[in-house]
Amino acid sequence: MIDPSAAYPRLLQISKTSLKIFTLAFLASFTTQDSPPKPDESRFTPVVIADNLDEPMVFEVLKDGSAYIIERKGALKKYNAATKSTDLIATIPVNTKYTSAEGVVREAEEGLMGFTMDPNYEKNHWIYLYYAHPTEKKHILTRWEIKDEQLVESSKKLVLEVETQREVCCHTGGGMTWDKAGNLFLTVGNNTGNQKAAQTDEREGRSSWDDQGHAGNTNDLRGKILRIHPEADGTYTIPEGNLYPKGTAKTRPEIYSMGHRNPWRISVDSKTNYVYWGEVGPDANEDSEIGPRGYDEMNQARKPGNFGWPWFVADNQAFPVYDYAANKPLEKKDPLHLVNNSPNNTGLKDLPATAPNFIYYPYGVSEKFPLVGSGSRSATGGPVYHKSDFVNPKRPWPAYYENKWIAADFSRGWIMAISMKENGDYDSMERVLPSYHPVQPIDIKFGPDGDLYILEYGSNWFRKSDNSRLIRIEYNGGNRKPIVQVSTDKKGGTVPFKANLSSEGTKDFDGDALKYSWKITSVGAAPRTFATANPTVSFDKSGVYTANLTVTDSKGASNSQSIKIVAGNEPPQVSINLAGNKTFFFADKPIAYAVNVNDKEDGSLTDGKIKPSQVAVSIDYTSEGFDYAEVTQSQRSVDASTQFAVA
């Protein structure tokens, strides 16, 4: 017989445990219901808005879905949402070169680098352009009015100048954004030569290689994030709360933050006013006596500060000042008591303590942030998502991404959703749309309708790419648009010829029946249409044709994709022949190669009708651990048996 008095404590314990389990289950259920679920990737559709761009740099989206796009060589273009065409608005005279100390003229990163629209653009039609002056050594911020789809030359206002050097390349910045108070933020690159790990050459005549006179100089606008308040007359005032109060000796009051190498795309969190940006770091692949390995950074500034370059990178890893005369590294600086003793420094010697960096990663695998991967890196940046930033958006992104920083890396081609804790500290990150591989995303922001836009620079450096384009990522909680893929077995040839067009890869995630409509157009030729998925098209007249495929599902949702076909000109036959070893890489060993080009109409390299100066060869290096398939996407392989590609 069981003694009830002995059993009671046990029963009470079970009851308490059961209550605790029930409570935890209830709370877990409540939390699950309260936390928005992660949307399926198939609910996001990449839609090509504008293509055939030439080194696109920055874009802005208007309320009607149209978009302005700038290109590095000076073009300002507009994508018209009504006509679905992209037109040239103006060409700004800009500088795109630098001349080395040896007198060699080379391509620089600079040109037309920055663009933004005034917060009251709908009323005043003002835009701001940041570019390299065509003849003088300076970058300038100008304001213009757009009227009747034209840039009004007489409206130009010079807002701000940044003195630069053109002796050596690189780093220009050019990111711009606004806060709720109408203050304009502008990122400015350090404009310093790349040598060793950090650039601290204090020898006479080497100021272009001393970043202590640029990014580390409180009296210089380079290597900074600036914050100004543009005024109606084209001037600007200084908002309260920048790094140095107006009137402080040996400082520039425009400086919001300093100690930057190449701050790039910038955004302001509308809820917290925190500033976010991507920052491209130095190139070293390993630690050495001259400093730590290189890191890119995704940064957050809760207030004005000094982010340490050229003396620190990542989590205050120090670069010693390098004595180039004696060829040895000197002592490292103290991040809490930073002193700039360079003879090229025209600003304060005693600098603010370094501010903490947010996210940082090297070429190799990051132990702290492993999801960023490894290989080539160029931290771009991106926007912080808040649905309340949009007025009656047609397609707002789901609540799952609320308060998250949507940031991209130009070289690695990923987009991350970065979550912060309530106090603003880093919490976690995850890939956004991992099946979408943007080709070098150079700008990323949300449009007025709530869609995320990505500007893809393309795979070619310093020249036009056939895969540069502006993409809109649409979220759809209901019926999803078809995903459209197009290809052809022949992109050109001597007329007459036939091309087999293909829609292989096109799909609909809802399983709807699809209708296919091809439209072949060319200037001066009547359009031709085909209602089959994979038509064969004859080309009898010379010209540049666009083959556009529109796919419509049974519920009326449609999506399009196009491809260019050149009739009347046979594509050249290109081959690269490697001499000697073709399999293994050995450091410090030159690779001998020969390029052969034969063109049916234009001759060949062999007969001299094609000049070597007309042939460009680019080489992509992929470090260990990097996905080779991602590097070669959208490139044209010339020989499947070898690991190289030409663009």
Domain membership of residue 325 (yes or no) is yes
The domain containing residue 272 runs over which residues?
Answer: 44-475
| DSSP output for 595-614 | EEEEETTTEETTTTSS-GGG
Dist. CA 74–CA 55, nearest whole Å: 10
Cβ 228 vs Cβ 184: under 8 Å: yes
Residue 530's pLDDT is: 98
Dist. CA 351–CA 308, nearest whole Å: 10
Cβ 192 vs Cβ 173: under 8 Å: no
The residue assigned the tokens 């995903």 is 483
Dist. CA 417–CA 1, nearest whole Å: 63
What are φ and ψ of residue 391, in 5° steps? -100, 110
Q: What is the mean pLDDT of residues 213-228?
A: 98
- Dihedral over alpha carbons 157, 159, 139, 267 (to 10 degrees): -120
Structure-block tokens of residue 62: 């208007």
Residue 637's pLDDT is: 33
Domain membership of residue 23 (yes or no) is no
3-state secondary structure of 366: coil
Task: Verify that 390 and 262 share a domain, yes or no.
Answer: yes
Cβ 478 vs Cβ 453: under 8 Å: no
| H-helix or E-strand spanning residue 11 | helix 4-34
Dist. CA 481–CA 161, nearest whole Å: 46
The residue assigned the tokens 């808005």 is 49
Q: What does the mean pLDDT of the chain come to?
A: 89
Task: Verify that 608 and 495 share a domain, yes or no.
Answer: no
440, 475, 510: which is the final residue of a domain? 475
Residue 234's pLDDT is: 97
Q: Is 624 exposed, middle or buried (0-12, 13-18, 19+ CB in 10 A)?
A: exposed
305-339: pLDDT as tens digits:
999 999 999 999 999 999 999 999 999 999 999 99
| Close Cβ partners of 392 (under 8 Å, ≥ 6 residues apart) | none
Task: Verify that 427 and 498 share a domain, yes or no.
Answer: no
Task: Verify that 440 and 341 share a domain, yes or no.
Answer: yes
3-state secondary structure of 4: helix
48-99: pLDDT as tens digits:
999 999 999 999 999 999 999 999 999 999 999 999 999 999 999 999 998 8
426, 453, 475: which is the final residue of a domain? 475
158-206: pLDDT as tens digits:
999 999 999 998 899 999 999 999 999 999 999 998 876 899 999 999 9
Task: Verify that 444 and 496 share a domain, yes or no.
Answer: no
What is the pTM for the complete model shown?
0.82
Residue 602's pLDDT is: 86
Cβ 332 vs Cβ 322: under 8 Å: no
44 half-sphere exposure, CB direction, 13 A CA radius: 21
Task: Verify that 436 and 453 share a domain, yes or no.
Answer: yes
Cβ 409 vs Cβ 377: under 8 Å: yes
pLDDT at residue 30 is higher than 50:
no
481-500: pLDDT as tens digits:
999 999 999 999 999 999 99
Dist. CA 80–CA 522, nearest whole Å: 19
Task: Verify that 556 and 591 share a domain, yes or no.
Answer: no
pLDDT at residue 9 is higher than 90:
no
388 half-sphere exposure, CB direction, 13 A CA radius: 5
Dist. CA 195–CA 200, nearest whole Å: 9
Residue 616's pLDDT is: 78
pLDDT above 70: percentage of residues in the chain: 90
What are φ and ψ of residue 24, in 5° steps? -65, -40
CATH of the domain at 262: 2.120.10.30
